[in-house]
Amino acid sequence: MNELELKYGCNPNQKPAKVFVASGELPFEVLNGRPGYINLLDALNGWQLVREMRKATNLPAAASFKHVSPAGAAVGEPLDDILKKIYFAEGLELSAQATAYVRARGADRMSSYGDFAILSDECDEPTANFIRREVSDGIIAPSYSPKALEILKAKRKGSYLVIKMNPDYAPPAIETKQVFGVTFEQKHNDIEISAACLEDVPTKNKTFTPEAVRDLLIALITLKYTQSNSVCYAKGGQAIGIGAGQQSRVHCTRLAGNKADYWYLRQCPKVLELPFQKNIKRPDRDNAIDVYLGGETFDDSWQNLFTVKPVPLTLDDKISWLENLRGVSLASDAFFPFGDNIERAHKSGVEFIAQTGGSIRDDNVIETCDKYNIAMAFTHIRLFHH
């Protein structure tokens, strides 16, 4: 099949809508449900991301996509008990592929609500069982075990979108798209992200731990498929804060840094011990935690979620807890123009950075890194994505 009719385009009024290839067959097969325009944008961008992450790390990879940018991306590194708790994965059987998706989904659960799940490897039963419990629009993977496919086909009253991707598909070297009747053409961005990107280190600290190399590769590959401007904080084999589509790079750094801070604050004892009622829905719990971390006061409408009124999380509590956040890696899809980005990154525990380099203020950026003993590499690669 070389053409597929879609429900509609970006919006319901944009009909008719379809996808097609000029020659050959579409590289995917719809096993269940009916895709929309944005579903396939998420699926095809996300597939490229996890395929490259799998190759770079030799670990199963996953991403959680929303509106053509990843809300989270990760590889299948084991979870400790605290992460299992904040990701709602306690007591579950988790394969390496399931763990990758649990990490990707869990990094920013608010943004991942209603996501498109992207898997690098076969979707197995543990992964399908986790997805079954979550609010999600669809999934793409290279294959599905019979039991996993049965589980997913039953989701959303049988309408859950399940797509099988041809893992051997290679796109044409030249890609095109239209905007307002004008056709754009460019070479497909086939640049490879590898450890060789981290060899030019202009800072005094030139040491990248193996974990930092892994996390920087994850962050850079994530940015390759994130709407620009973008930056990504990573730790433990996953993105922990992604700032996408901002016009100012320092706003990307702040946005993503705030998400990384929230990720770590969710591991704070006061948050872990919030007195939730039993059997409340996970989205309600996610919303309540976000309000709590934001310092807002719970009014009477929230009290049905708790057994007793929560003890406030003060600014001093937050500062004290965030002082423990260390070993974070940060990547940028283009150069940092000023040292203010480094100042903000340092507040979120960043010790390793990869960025393009080439700003007229590189000296200021390097000086600020040296001030905090941060190791920074110039990749000499720009990763704009639109």
Distance in angstroms (rounded) separating the CA atoms of residues 216 and 238: 10
Distance in angstroms (rounded) separating the CA atoms of residues 169 and 303: 52
Measure the CA dihedral 35/39/41/45, to 10°: -120
Enumerate residues 6+ apart whose C-beta is below 8 A from 296. none
Instruction: Cite the active site residues.
Output: 66-67, 229, 386
CA atoms within 13 A on the CB side of 303: 5
The alpha carbon of 44 is separated from its chain's Cα centroid by a whole number of angstroms, namely 15
Q: What angle do CA 114, 117, 119 make, to 5 degrees?
A: 175
Written as one string, the DSSP assignment of 95-157 is -HHHHHHHHHHHTTHHHHTTEEEEESS-B-HHHHHHHHHS-EEEEEES-B-HHHHHHHHTGGG
Element (H, E) at 251: helix 249-265
Residue 327 DSSP code: -
Distance in angstroms (rounded) separating the CA atoms of residues 370 and 218: 24
Per residue in 342-365, is it b (16+ CB within 10 Å) or e — as a string?
bebbbbbbbbbbbbbbeeeebebb
* 3-class SS of residue 211: helix
CA nearest to 342, candidates 384, 381, 374, 317: 374
Radius of gyration of the chain (CA): 21
